[in-house]
């Protein structure tokens, strides 16, 4: 089904060189930009001129030359017309949703998503008159049944955080198109692996903080979509990115630009190692969830959505049943085996482990956690690629023998 090659698309996009022929682009740090004639300025405010029209810049909360390079590279990766960079994943999500939804509107969201997004939809948006119905992403009929006349957005993650349930993007796209709803997909777990816009999504949001940057040293986000939507977000008088102001610093943009070329290579290695670890745990009889395992209930769906050659991603989960067992397992992994670091977040070159129910999903009540299939003992692994794979597997095996058998 998937014919898109994000790696090739990234290579084919126009490469930006620095001043004096630098192989790396220059960082443009100006907050404001001068124009030759005073009449140019009102034309920029009216949207008649601008960086994508004639190279005219105004002010860096609007567009900045360096963040625009990153935006262009991300758009190439995603197969979108345009992209906009933001200061965090959360600001990409909140700005995109607030652009699409106004007071009185309704969102249908997957019930298993990052805890911060869940809290935004459940607690913050109702204060603005925007309501959300949460449904199981592995059952498309739930989305269909939840559509109301005031529904404006279907919101899901590609592979859900942390349950790794998989959203059927082509089917959700059919529902959204039929009902004139926008399909917004958070693809943070699966950059280059899945290309949601190519499967029918309207907007893709990212926390670049994770795999895309890959070094756990920058908080950043992005929105990838059609030109119209990105222009709406950036409209000087009404755009949510322009007015809420979660602007990416050009220095952060530069760092991510320099790491983006090896993202496909990194994703391949994350996937290879996560599959090996998941296979080992599965063979040992441990309840392991990974979309690359044929035992994953939606493995075939995952297979039908992925771009070839990048595997199934770097995230897997292990159900230790209770929080105490999970904490003991994580402690043995980190402190006795030196396998991974107990930390939230994901997409680092080293393995990160956390107990989701009491950390990044703690915004979700225990009964809702159980409804979405999140056990209190679930340990989420973001598998890194340092060290020899053979030794890493031995470390996991010993920790499992000590703690879980």
* Dihedral sign for Cα atoms in the order 110, 116, 119, 124: negative
Chain positions 336 to 355 lying near ligand PLP, rule: CB under 6 A, are: 345
Question: What mask of x and - would describe binding to ligand PLP in positions 155 to 194, judged by CB under 6 A?
Answer: --x---x------------------------x-x------
Chain positions 2 to 61 lying near ligand PLP, rule: CB under 6 A, are: none
Asked if 255 interacts with ligand PLP (CB under 6 A), we say no
Question: What mask of x and - would describe binding to ligand PLP in positions 120 to 159, judged by CB under 6 A?
Answer: -------------------------------------x--
Q: Which of 209, 225, 382, 395 binds ligand PLP (CB under 6 A)?
A: 209
Give the shortest CB-356-to-ligand PLP separation in angstroms. 10
Give the shortest CB-186-to-ligand PLP separation in angstroms. 5
Which stretch in 43-51, 87-95, 256-264, 276-284 sits in contact with ligand PLP by CB under 6 A?
87-95
Give the shortest CB-92-to-ligand PLP separation in angstroms. 8
Q: How far apart are the first and last CA of the chain?
A: 41
Chain positions 296 to 315 lying near ligand PLP, rule: CB under 6 A, are: none
Instruction: Quickly count: other Cβ atoms within 10 Å of residue 211's Cβ.
Output: 26
Asked if 90 interacts with ligand PLP (CB under 6 A), we say yes
Asked if 207 interacts with ligand PLP (CB under 6 A), we say yes
Contact criterion met (CB below 8 Å) for 4 and 204: no
Closer to ligand PLP by CB, 65 or 89: give it: 89
Q: Which of 193, 194, 218, 219 binds ligand PLP (CB under 6 A)?
A: 219
Asked if 269 interacts with ligand PLP (CB under 6 A), we say no
Closer to ligand PLP by CB, 302 or 403: give it: 302
Q: Which of 25, 196, 221, 246 binds ligand PLP (CB under 6 A)?
A: 221
Contact criterion met (CB below 8 Å) for 78 and 195: yes
Closer to ligand PLP by CB, 50 or 291: give it: 291
Binding-site ranges for ligand PLP (CB under 6 A): 88-90, 114, 116, 157, 161, 186, 188, 207, 209, 219, 221, 345, 360
């Amino acid at each position: 089904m998937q014919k898109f090659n994000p790696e090739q698309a990234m290579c084919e996009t126009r490469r930006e060189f620095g001043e004096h022929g630098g192989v790396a682009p220059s960082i443009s740090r100006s907050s404001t930009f001068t124009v030759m004639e005073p009449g140019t300025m009102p034309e920029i405010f009216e949207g008649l001129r601008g960086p994508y029209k004639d190279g005219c810049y105004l002010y860096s909360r609007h567009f900045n030359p360096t963040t625009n390079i990153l935006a262009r590279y991300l758009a190439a990766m995603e197969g979108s017309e345009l992209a906009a960079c933001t200061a965090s994943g959360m600001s990409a999500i909140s700005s995109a949703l607030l652009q699409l939804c106004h007071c009185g509107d309704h969102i249908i969201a997957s019930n298993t998503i990052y805890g911060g997004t869940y809290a935004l939809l459940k607690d913050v948006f109702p204060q603005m008159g925007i309501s959300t119905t949460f449904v199981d992403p592995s059952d498309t009929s739930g989305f269909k049944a939840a559509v109301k006349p005031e529904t404006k957005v279907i919101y899901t993650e590609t592979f859900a955080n942390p349950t790794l349930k998989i959203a059927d993007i082509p089917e959700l796209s059919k529902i959204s198109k039929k009902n004139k709803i926008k399909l917004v997909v958070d693809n943070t777990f699966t950059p280059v692996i899945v290309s949601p816009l190519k499967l029918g999504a309207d907007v893709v949001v990212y926390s670049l903080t994770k795999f895309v940057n890959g070094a756990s040293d920058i908080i950043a986000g992005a929105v990838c979509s059609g030109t119209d939507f990105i222009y709406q977000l950036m409209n000087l008088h009404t755009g949510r990115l322009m007015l809420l102001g979660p602007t990416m610093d050009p220095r952060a943009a530069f760092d991510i630009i320099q790491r983006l070329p090896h993202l496909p290579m990194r994703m391949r290695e994350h996937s290879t190692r996560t599959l090996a670890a998941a296979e080992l745990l599965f063979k040992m009889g441990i309840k392991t969830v990974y979309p690359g395992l044929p035992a994953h209930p939606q493995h075939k769906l995952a297979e039908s959505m992925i771009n070839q050659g990048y595997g199934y991603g770097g995230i897997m989960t292990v159900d230790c049943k209770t929080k105490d067992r999970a904490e003991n397992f994580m402690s043995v992994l980190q402190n006795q085996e030196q396998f991974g670091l107990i930390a939230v977040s994901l997409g680092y070159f080293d393995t990160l482990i956390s107990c989701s129910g009491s950390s990044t999903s703690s915004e979700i009540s225990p009964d809702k956690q159980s409804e979405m299939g999140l056990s209190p003992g679930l340990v989420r692994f973001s598998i890194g690629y340092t060290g020899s794979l053979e030794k890493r597997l031995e470390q996991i095996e010993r920790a499992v023998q000590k703690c879980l058998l």
